[in-house]
Structure 1
Amino acid sequence: MAKKGYTKEDAIDLIFEDTWEEADHDSSDPESVYSDVEEAYAAGVDPDVYCVASPVTYEEANGPSTSNTTPPQRGRSCGRIHGREESRSLSPGSHDGRWNTEADPDLVPNVPRFTPKRTPGVQPPLTFGKWSPLDICSQYFDEEVINILCANTNKNAMRNLERGRKFTWADVYPEEMKKYIGLLLYMGVMDLPKVRDFWRKKTLFHVPFPFPATVMSRDRFLAISCNLHISGPMEDAENDKKRGTEEYDCLHRVQPVLDIMRNRCMSVYHPRQNISVDERMIATKARIFFKQYMKAKPTKWGIKLFVLADVNGYTVDFKIYTGKSKFASGKGLSFDVVTSLVNRDYLGSGYVIYCDNFYTSPLLFRHLHQLGFGACGTCREGSVGVPSTKQNAPSKRSPRGSIRWIRDDVLLFVKWMDTREVTMCTIVHTVYSGETVLRWQTTEDGQKEKVPVPRPTAVQQYNKYMGGVDTSDQMLGTNSVHRKTRKWYMTIFQHFLDIAVTNSFILHKELCAIHHDKHMTQQNFQELLAAQLTGVPLDSSPKERCDHLPVPLEEFNVAAGLRVALRKEISS
């Protein structure tokens, strides 16, 4: 007999009783199976973010093996989990406390589609027509920069004269400033020990044809060098009064050109998909509080720059390090540096950022993934978020080429045994896709031969794209205009000029590739640029100097006869 009244709890029990009976009946139906989405959900996998990568073993990538082991079965490339028993090891949210091998199946993150804000490469109007080195370099050191240098240099010279310094001065104008910059580039190619050596005469080590003397006198060049200024002297004095307060700007003396150079570097060229972040040192021993010492760098003392560079060496953006910032996020210096250089509003999405272990952190990589970027880099053992488990981890006795990995959500940690153990973190690569690298190995008979060794995908891509900043440093050091000076802001100005010339040369190569022309070498490019700035044709040959006067032939014969007669008289 049915109850006349039901409580709220009874009604809920009756509803769910019918529901579970229908569910039990449906589950016994042989046509009812898990779908791909349901099976992924049961395994804890987000099907919109992950897909399953078929494991690629060394034997599959390099031919059949002689062992009797059966290779793992390859399933669907995306959306299907390889069996219920494997769902625990494939969970993206956590790992099971052990390192997997390359034979274990991995998940491939669905990397955001590469959608840059602009077409990568040289930007208009440089893409139309053919441009000379002077036209390209003028995109960085344009009339605005030249006028700033002229105005502030004249103000600084007048202030020095008022202080009682003795030198001859006349206002410098843009044309003369261009000639001055052209001489700096000329001296970068010639590279004599001292600036005065370019005007030296009547010595064994003088220049046979003193080209700088035909462009500008020595005293005029030295006067411009001593008074060259980037910022206004009056503004510098006002800023110096704020020293020790939060309003003090330690980069005030280079700020006018610093902002322009950064904007020019980003506007003239748009980087390609793979970019790198690293630090750069400008050599100086000036007495400034933000001078840095880096033991591992060739230039150990100097001003540190954090640089974003393309793989071809183009300096996309840079930031001068001046110590702890008052705008720090509290997440670490490396986090703040990368997030300040990698700007989605300028770049777009889908870019892959490569960095070394100073910058790599799970916190940073997760943040970049949320912004729509990929990331890959070496990481340090013991860092926060890096797996510290030793279960199934490679040891010093592990054979060369051993690969171990752990996936934690979007992060993939890979250990690879090469000469020493290498640890990588990536959010855009699988564990192993069949890449190998040749390494020397001693055979049983004592002979050495090169054998292929498995290499993780992240290591191969890191070696390919991480060298952007190193390539840029190498090109900047070629025919650099840098010279010793006590003024730290002049050192930075010289570096700005090196960046402008190096980036201009890279744009020249890009434009020549577009028009299918042969590009110049970096030295020839700088020589032609110096000639165009100074207004002297590059192919003009100097006239040979003649220190003796021609002697008429008759006088020569008379002198020869007198010498013969004198010899006969002496002999008799």
Structure 2
Amino acid sequence: MGIIRKPTMYWVKRSSQSTIWFRKIFSRHRFQLILRFFFYLVDNRKTPQRNSEHYNPAAWFKPLVDHANMQFKQYYIRNRELSIDESLVGTKARTVMTQYIPTKAHKFGIKLWMLVEAISGYIIHFFYFTAESVMTAYRLMITQGSHIVKKIMTETNLFNKNYHIFCDNFFTSIPLVRHLRTLRTYFTGTLRAKRQMPQLLRNPQLRKNESLFIRQRELMCVAYKERQNRKTVRFVTSAVKASALVHRHKLVVSSIYSKNMGGVDLNDMMSGIYDDKRKNKNNAEKGLQSTFFTEWY
């Protein structure tokens, strides 16, 4: 249905609108039943309901998330370059998990943290945002971004395998890069000027195509201005050498970052092509389950 889009039903027998494939798979009645009851992936009698102390709206679709993550890792061998970023499954369901992110296409939805292959956008692992992760990061006295990177790499068992991770400035911190390097995991990302940045790189006066390098053992920080009317971009990396020359008038670390950071955006674009925007006829939270299905399958 994401490939062959029709305004109404797919089981019509009129020759001008007929698509025999759908009728061969199963009947219209069976499809409607599956769409209606797909929400019930767990035993409703054993799941805490609203106003309960242990109520968790994610419990309704957690089996689907666990199953998808298991399948993602089973059928694909990953390249070395990976990227971590946020994504959004669009929904306006009335749930505490709904967030507003104006930079995303859907704007309202369920936030996901995703680990993908940088070049292809193939999903390796993902999990949904919860307030518990924020509190865990606070208790550990680390940034939320650092906690997410450590959690997703631990759950996928990808530490100590020489993978190279790319992240934006929400996730990046110098302590995180050092920690990952002790686990034989390389990291390249942009860095916020006020987040433990060396004083020399906070407000450097750079001209067009100028850069400033600072290295401490395996860790390298870079400030770079590509154009005169653009802001200075700061990178931290444990994989790129400071002696690297500019490539086509662009810094090598900047070129490598630009090439490998867009994996999650690429995945969003490809999955959006096959989204048929179909909703079930139950309440808003059950509509969330149907949206989750069409986005990922």
1:470 — aligned with what? 265
CA contact (8 A) 2:11 2:18 kept: no
Please state if 1:222 is matched with 2:25.
no
Q: State the Cα distance separating 1:480 from its structure 2 match.
A: 2.7
2:95 — aligned with what? 288
1:496 — aligned with what? 296
Q: State the Cα distance separating 1:255 from its structure 2 match.
A: 2.1
1:301 — aligned with what? 108
CA contact (8 A) 1:394 1:404 kept: no
List gaps (5 residues or longer) in structure 1.
1-186, 438-452, 498-572
SS at match of 1:252: helix
Q: State the Cα distance separating 1:291 from its structure 2 match.
A: 1.0
Which residue, 158, 183, 190 being the options, matches 2:4? 190
Equivalent residue letter for 1:458: V
List gaps (5 residues or longer) in structure 2.
none
Which residue, 389, 394, 410 being the options, matches 2:205? 394
Please state if 1:480 is matched with 2:275.
yes
Which residue, 310, 317, 338 being the options, matches 2:149? 338
Instruction: State the alpha-carbon separation in 2 of the partners of residues 207 and 336 from structure 1.
Output: 55
Please state if 1:422 is matched with 2:236.
no
RMSD over equivalenced CA pairs, Å: 2.6
CA contact (8 A) 2:91 2:291 kept: yes
Please state if 1:405 is matched with 2:213.
yes
How many pairs align?
A: 283
TM-score by length of 2: 0.84
Instruction: State the alpha-carbon separation in 2 of the partners of residues 330 and 244 from structure 1.
Output: 30
Please state if 1:355 is matched with 2:167.
yes
Per-residue deviation, residues 511-549 of structure 1 (Å, max 9, x unmatched)? xxxxxxxxxxxxxxxxxxxxxxxxxxxxxxxxxxxxxxx
Q: How does 1:135-150 map to 2 (within 5 A)?
A: none
Instruction: State the alpha-carbon separation in 2 of the partners of residues 360 and 369 from structure 1.
Output: 13
Larger radius of gyration: 1
SS at match of 1:269: coil
Q: State the Cα distance separating 1:380 from its structure 2 match.
A: 1.3
Instruction: State the alpha-carbon separation in 2 of the partners of residues 331 and 208 from structure 1.
Output: 57
CA contact (8 A) 1:432 1:457 kept: no
Q: State the Cα distance separating 1:435 from its structure 2 match.
A: 2.9
CA contact (8 A) 1:394 1:415 kept: no
2:62 — aligned with what? 255
TM-score by length of 1: 0.46
Equivalent residue letter for 2:264: V
Cα separation, partners in 2 of 1:279 and 1:343, compared to 1, 3 Å: same
Runs of 4+ with >6 A deviation: none
1:366 — aligned with what? 178
Instruction: State the alpha-carbon separation in 1 of the partners of residues 185 and 276 from structure 2.
Output: 36
Equivalent residue letter for 1:343: T
Cα separation, partners in 2 of 1:407 and 1:259, compared to 1, 3 Å: same
SS at match of 1:354: strand
Q: Comparing both structures, which one devotes a greater share of its residues to helix? A: 1
CA contact (8 A) 2:57 2:95 kept: no
Percent identity over paired residues? 27
Per-residue deviation, residues 154-201 of structure 1 (Å, max 9, x unmatched)? xxxxxxxxxxxxxxxxxxxxxxxxxxxxxxxxx1112223xx343457
